[in-house]
Amino acid sequence: MSRSTPPQPTSAYAPIVFRFDAEVWLYADDGGWHFLTVPAELSEEIEVRTSCQRRGFGSVRVRVTIGVTSWTTSVFPDKKRGAYVLPVKKDVRRAEDFAAGDRVDVTLELLDA
């Protein structure tokens, strides 16, 4: 079961930050891409807050922290899952010592809101 918290209260200049845990999964392709799925209720919140700022393929720029590792990337809408998905680089998986099937705690900050 996924834990998630709603975004922190914000002012006009405060960042929009979500915290949740999710299972890392391997994309069924030859590329070895690893992802995690943003919980549905948080994905809906992202959709609302970024309706005018989305980029190619509906992507939204984010800053992510897992463990002590932070990086900037994008989340992408996945119609099959009905939620945004977050790609997780090999360097991050190595640095934080996790693999497909593991659950990780995630902090995700919207950069396009």
Angstrom distance (rounded) from CA 5 to CA 106: 11
pLDDT at residue 52 greater than cutoff 80:
no
In this prediction, residue 71 carries a pLDDT of 97
Domain range list for the chain: 16-110
Please tell me the pTM assigned to this model: 0.82
In this prediction, residue 83 carries a pLDDT of 97
Average pLDDT over residues 69-96: 96
C-beta atoms surrounding 12 within 10 Å? 4
The pLDDT confidence band at residue 13, using thresholds 50, 70 and 90, is low
Burial of 79 (0-12, 13-18, 19+ CB in 10 A): exposed
Q: Are 81 and 44 in contact (CB under 8 A)?
A: no
**Collapsed DSSP state (helix, strand, coil) of residue 49:** helix
Share of the chain above pLDDT 70, in %: 83
Class of domain 16-110: mainly beta
